[in-house]
Amino acid sequence: MSDTSEKTGNTGNAGKTGSTGNPGKTGSTGKIEKTGRTGKAGKTERLSVFKTYKLYVGGKFPRSESGRVYEVTDSQGKWLANAPLASRKDARDAVVAARKAFGAWSGATAYNRGQILYRIAEMLEGRREQFAREVADAEGLSGSEAAAVVDATIDRWVWYAGWTDKIAQVVGGGNPVAGPFFNLSTPEPTGVVAVLAPQESSFLGLVSVVAPVIATGNTAVVVASERRPLPALSLGEVLATSDLPGGVVNVLSGRTAEIAAPLAAHQDVNAIDLAGADEELAKELEIAAADNLKRVLRPRPVDYSAVPGIERMTAFLETKTVWHPTGSLGASGSSY
Amino acid sequence: MTTDNGGKRPAAFEYAPAPESRAIVDIAPSYGLFIDGEFTEGAQGRVFKTVSPSTEEVLSEVTQADETDVDRAVAAARRAFGTWSALPGSERAKYLFRIARIIQERSRELAVLETLDNGKPIRETRDVDLPLVAAHFFYYAGWADKLSYAGFGPDPRPLGVAGQVIPWNFPLLMLAWKIAPALATGNTVVLKPAETTPLSALFFADVCRQAGLPKGVVNIVTGDGRTGAALVAHPDVDKVAFTGSTAVGKEIARTVAGTRKKLTLELGGKGANIVFDDAPIDQAVEGIVNGIFFNQGQVCCAGSRLLVQESIHDELLDALKRRLSTLRLGDPLDKNTDIGAINSAEQLARITDLADRGEAEGAERWTVPCELPSSGYWFAPTLFTNVTQAHTIARDEIFGPVLSVLTFRTPEEAVAKANNTPYGLSAGVWTEKGSRILAVANKLRAGVVWSNTFNKFDPTSPFGGYKESGFGREGGRHGLEAYLDV
């Protein structure tokens, strides 16, 4: 597939820019090649097929219920696509989908979740060129820079795939209480997490905030970068074909402030990652989030190219501690 | 043993009074604020009285700290922070070990003081509160020079000045839960004890003095909710830790929104205590009693909703009522007392109101037949049967000796009912079947699950809630995180 798409340039944004041509900007991975067609009338240029970018909610690809779209442009201001302008209702629908998916996803074995996250990396690997083009367009990167971002993003899925069955051993464990009790602390997912994806890093940043949330068994409602939503919307297509159950990740595009407000106030959302909010919005959302005591991860500068650490996982984990009496096998001491 | 005589207290035993002597405690007629290593007067000179809930006797006058006083305390903590956080961990550890040892030495004095100011039985302060207080300092003392092994990076740093606001139900224990990890990690603190139980925190100031703790590392400001609000809102506070009601916790979360302040909250609960038909009934009855009548039910993790499998409902309730009839309510200083006083008139009014609503909404009320003392704040152990999930007494935290009994048929129903609450602090499971314990414990959305036991605490065991019971953990390695810049 990737070979074909590179030759024909008929997937993703390259196709769109291709119709008007802008090879200087899109760089090598966004290389525009026209597929010649020889007809009776002579050589004509093939008209590329645009993709309708849609939301990803509950494993399906709906348009916004509002019927609204907004124009997404590249870093030079050139039109790339019309993205869905998600509404409050879309946000609430996404929460319902995420809640519905939570039981099975949090109840899946950690090994199973790890395999699925790894599968996402596999699926992305096969679509590297498409995402490199979308990232290059979105972030104004050269082809090689964008390719490096995509590679790092794929590797990030692999990194978190390996964490699913290890985090409990790192942050949980037995506690030596002073009494005849077995006492075990285990991390458990917080629940439905609203994630405001970073505004600048449209793909690596996005995956860096989504992967840790779902690796541990949470489900997510993700608000894509407002001006650079296309890589996030395309990621939905990858997630849909990676054995990830529908509803585990839901992707919305639109005005961050408009979608985030109902999510921060939603009584069935358990936590919110404010990575994509500016200072003023973050404060408003944190105040709204207090109504049902959501766990709040405040925005702070992050170098998404660095090794992430476990903080984004532990931010959305609860610790459950279970006690049980150990009893006694008699006062005689050693059982040997 | 006596036979069941219709729920009335058996008359076979008469206990002679066995009061613990209060001569061991010397309460001053008035206390200032403990700031920068010494007791000082409040800026406004305003004071309020603290009374013994069991007699309404005035124990002392304490200072109502205002914003100026809070500012002075925070400034003292800030000045102390540099030196304190720069101390080698091994030296900080030794201060905390000293504090633990001094508390052990003075534990009887502090237990009597706590019983006087709080109203809880001496049996509890002596056997539960004080041993846990000392153990908590001893535990975190050992962490002070081992933080690089705690899993928060090679050199985790303290946050700075911690503002801590604690409740009245376990005054000194909550102080220990707050101060021990804060100091071990190199923070300095300003702590506000509850308005109705300030004395043990003020005595703790003297423990700090005896331990030679550098001035300003621990500051104690007394007052009501306004003092706490001023502390939480103070711009030079880096960390806020609060234990108390969910309503106040939400207000604090709004206050610190948009700031750098790190927040941990340990709030209310409506814990489900689930008893399956194969449970050991006698042990379960003891656990149910401990779950809801320990500390007069004024416990955030109380097992205030009893979920009984339908087939054993009548048998269990008979056994439970029989057991409750043997509880002794009265003078908290009496060593035979099981049930002490409610902490304040205000709390008694709240319990009374909610219990009345339970009756008005159609639940069936049963109260232990016992005489209540003529002065002080008292509420006899009470349980409600025929409670539905819609009843106020099945939803609201009562924070008193009132048990709501509901039934279930299947484990799935038990789990669904247990989780049907915005809270998520504690739960209990009683069954002899191991796999069922693990399955149910796994499904319960609660921070602490006691299986075939209840209301057990230990400094090594993380404690804290899911959902609207708050966030963050106190105790254990997990408890360090709240006070580290991680």
With a cut of 80, say whether residue A241 has pLDDT above it: yes
Same-domain status, B278 and B216:
no
Per-residue pLDDT, averaged over A110-122, amounts to 98
pLDDT over threshold 50, residue A27 = no
Look at A244-258, B5-19, B405-419 and tell me which has the smallest mean pLDDT: B5-19
Cα–Cα dist B67/B72, whole Å: 9
Assign B221 a pLDDT band (cuts: 50, 70, 90).
Answer: very high
Q: How many CA atoms lie within 13 A of B339 on its CB side?
A: 28
| DSSP per-residue codes, A115-154 | HHHHHHHHHHHTTHHHHHHHHHHHHT--HHHHHHHHHHHH
Q: How far is CA B254 from CA A147, A289, A296, B231, in A?
A: 42, 8, 12, 14
Residues of B in Cβ contact (< 8 Å) with A324:
437, 451-453
Mean pLDDT (chain A, rounded):
89
Predicted confidence (pLDDT) at residue A9 exceeds the cutoff of 60: no
> Do B276 and B297 share a domain, yes or no?
yes
CB A316 within 8 A of CB A170: no
Contacts of A314 in chain B (CB under 8 A): 481
- How confident is residue A44, by pLDDT bands cut at 50, 70 and 90? confident
CA-closest candidate to residue B267, choices A191, A293, A286: A293
Sign of the dihedral through C-alpha A265, A266, A270, A276: negative
Q: Chain A contacts of B246, Cβ < 8 Å? A: 293
pLDDT tens profile A286-323: 999 999 999 999 999 999 999 999 999 999 999 999 99
Does residue A331 have a pLDDT over 90?
A: no
Same domain? B226 vs B306: no
What length is written for chain A? 336
The token pair at B210 is: 């005896």
Q: Answer yes or no: do A293 and B254 touch at CB < 8 A.
A: no
Question: How crowded is the C-beta side of A317, counted as CA atoms within 13 Å?
Answer: 24
User: Average pLDDT of A11-31?
Assistant: 40
Which domain range does residue B167 map to? 30-267+466-483
Instruction: Report H helices in B58-198.
Output: 67-86, 89-105, 107-118, 122-124, 130-143, 171-184
- Judged against a pLDDT cut of 80, whether residue A62 lies above it is answered with yes
Q: Is B29 exposed, middle or buried (0-12, 13-18, 19+ CB in 10 A)?
A: exposed
Pairing of strands B58-63, B47-51: antiparallel
What are the angstrom distances between the C-alpha of A166 and each of A41, A110, A140, A257, A314? 63, 8, 37, 35, 12
How far apart (Å, rounded) are the C-alpha atoms in residues A206 and A273?
11
* Complex ipTM: 0.96
* pLDDT at position B195 over 60: yes
Where along chain A do its domains lie? 69-325
The arithmetic mean of pLDDT across residues A282-287, rounded, is 98
Distance CA B319, CA B316 (A): 5
CA distance A8 to B434: 62
CA torsion, ordered B284, B290, B292, B297, to nearest 10 deg: 180
How long a stretch of residues is chain B? 486
Q: In this structure, what CATH number is given to the domain that contains residue B233?
A: 3.40.605.10
Q: How far apart are CA B292 and CA B302, in angstroms?
A: 5
Q: Does residue B475 share a domain with residue B427?
A: no
Q: Tell me the shortest Cα–Cα distance from A241 to chain B, in angstroms.
A: 29
Is residue B172 within 8 A of residue B130, CB to CB? The reply is yes
Tens digit of each residue's pLDDT (9 = 90 or more) over B154-192: 999 999 999 999 999 999 999 999 999 999 999 999 999
Q: Is the pLDDT of residue A33 over 70?
A: no
CB A223 within 8 A of CB A197: yes
Which of A109, A167, A175 has the highest number of chain B CBs within 10 A, making it the mutation to test binding with B?
A175
Per-residue confidence (pLDDT) for residue B13, from 0 to 100: 66
Q: Residues B426, B307: one domain?
A: yes
pLDDT at A221: 99
Strand partners, A295: A271
The residue with tokens 């297509």 is A237
Q: Going by DSSP bridges, is the β-strand pair A181-189/B218-220 parallel, antiparallel, or unpaired?
A: unpaired
B253 and A319 in contact by Cβ < 8 A? Answer: no
Torsion B114-B120-B125-B129 (CA) sign: negative
pTM above 0.90, yes or no: yes
* Nearest-by-CA chain A residue for B478: A171
- Considering only CB atoms, which chain A residues are within 8 Å of B470? 293
Q: Which residues of B283-306 are buried (b: 16+ CB within 10 A; e: fewer)?
A: ebbebbbbbbbbbbbbbbbbbbbb
Contact B69, B39 (CB under 8 A): no
Q: Pick the residue from chain A with its C-alpha nearest to B434.
A: A324
Give the closest-approach CA distance of A89 to chain B in angstroms.
24
Could A319 and B460 be called an inter-chain contact, meaning their C-beta atoms sit closer than 8 Å?
Answer: no
Closest chain B C-alpha to A204 CA, distance in angstroms: 23
- CB neighbour list of residue A41: distance below 8 Å, 6 or more residues apart: none
Q: Is the same domain home to B195 and B218?
A: yes
Give the residue among B78, B51, B79, B279 at the shortest CA–CA distance from B168: B51
Q: Is there a single domain that holds both residue B322 and residue B437?
A: yes
Q: Is B36 contained in some domain?
A: yes
Nearest to B54 by CA among B20, B24, B92, B15: B20
Residue B81 in domain: yes
Per-residue pLDDT band at A123 (split at 50, 70, 90): very high
- Whether the predicted pLDDT of A28 surpasses 90: no
3-state SS class at B167: coil
On whether both B85 and B56 belong to a single domain, the answer is: yes
**A contact test, residue of B262, B423, B455, B456 with most A CBs within 10 A:** B456
d(Cα A248, Cα A253) in Å, to the nearest integer? 17
**CB of B284 closer than 8 Å to CB of B450:** no
pLDDT over threshold 80, residue B38? yes
Q: Among A177, A300, A322, which would you mutate to test the B interface (most chain B Cβ atoms within 10 Å of its Cβ)? A: A322
Assigned fold of A69-325: Aldehyde Dehydrogenase; Chain A, domain 1 (3.40.605)
Catalytic residue numbers of B read: 266, 300
| Pairwise CB contact (< 8 Å): A178 & B458 | yes
Containing B358, the helix (H) or strand (E) segment is: helix B345-360
CB B256 within 8 A of CB B263: yes
As given in the structure block, the two tokens for residue A18 are: 């291709």
Instruction: Give the integer Cα–Cα distance in Å for B282 and B279.
Output: 9
| Alpha helices (runs of H) in B224-303, residue ranges in sequence order | 225-233, 246-256, 281-293
A175 closest CB neighbour out of B444, B461, B466: B461
Task: Quote the crossing angle between the two packed helices B313-324 and B281-293, to the nearest 10°.
Answer: 60
- Which residues of chain B approach chain A closer than 8 Å at the C-beta? 135, 151, 246, 249-251, 253-254, 257-258, 265, 267, 422, 437, 441, 444, 446-453, 456, 458, 460-464, 466-468, 470-471, 473, 476, 478, 481, 486
Considering the domain architecture, whether residues B278 and B260 belong to the same structural domain is answered as no
pLDDT reported for residue A43 = 74
Instruction: Please judge whether A323 and B258 are an interchain contact, meaning their C-beta atoms are less than 8 angstroms apart.
Output: no
pLDDT in tens, B112-161: 999 999 999 999 999 999 999 999 999 999 999 999 999 999 999 999 99
Q: Are residues B208 and B306 in the same domain?
A: no
Say yes or no for a CB contact (<8 Å) between B458 and A283.
Answer: no
Going by pLDDT thresholds of 50, 70 and 90, the confidence category of residue A30 is very low
Q: Is the pLDDT of residue B442 over 90?
A: yes
| pLDDT-based confidence at residue B460 (cuts at 50, 70, 90) | very high
Size of interface A-B (CB pairs under 8 A): 102
B481 contacts in chain A (CB < 8 Å): 314
- Cβ-Cβ contacts under 8 Å, B450 against chain A: 323
- If asked whether residues B140 and B248 sit together in one domain, one would say yes
Partners of A251 in beta bridges: A56, A222
> Quick check: A21 pLDDT over 50?
no
Model confidence at A14, pLDDT cuts 50, 70, 90, reads very low
Could you tell me the CA-to-CA distances from B251 to A291, B254, B255 in Å, in that order? 9, 5, 6
Chain B environment of A184 (Cβ under 8 Å) = none
Considering the domain architecture, whether residues B300 and B173 belong to the same structural domain is answered as no
Mean pLDDT for all residues in chain B = 96
Contact B179, B191 (CB under 8 A): yes
Q: What is the pLDDT of residues B362-402, one digit of tens each?
A: 999 999 999 999 999 999 999 999 999 999 999 999 999 99
Say whether B279 sits in a helix, a strand or coil: coil
Report which of B255, B212, B262, B278 is spatially closest to residue B436, judged by C-alpha positions: B278
**Under 8 Å CB-to-CB from A51, ≥6 apart: which residues?**
A11, A12, A15, A81
Distance in Å, alpha carbon of A153 to nearest chain B alpha carbon: 24
Does a structural domain hold residue B220?
Answer: yes
Number of domains in chain B: 2
A181/B253 Cβ within 8 A: no
**pLDDT tens-digit profile of A63-88?**
999 999 999 999 999 999 999 999 99
Which CATH number covers residue B325?
3.40.309.10
Check whether B480 has a pLDDT greater than 60.
yes
What one-character-per-residue DSSP string does A220-245 give? EEEE--SS--HHHHHHHHHHHTTTPP
Residue A250's SS3 state is: strand
Is residue A25 scored above 50 in pLDDT?
A: no
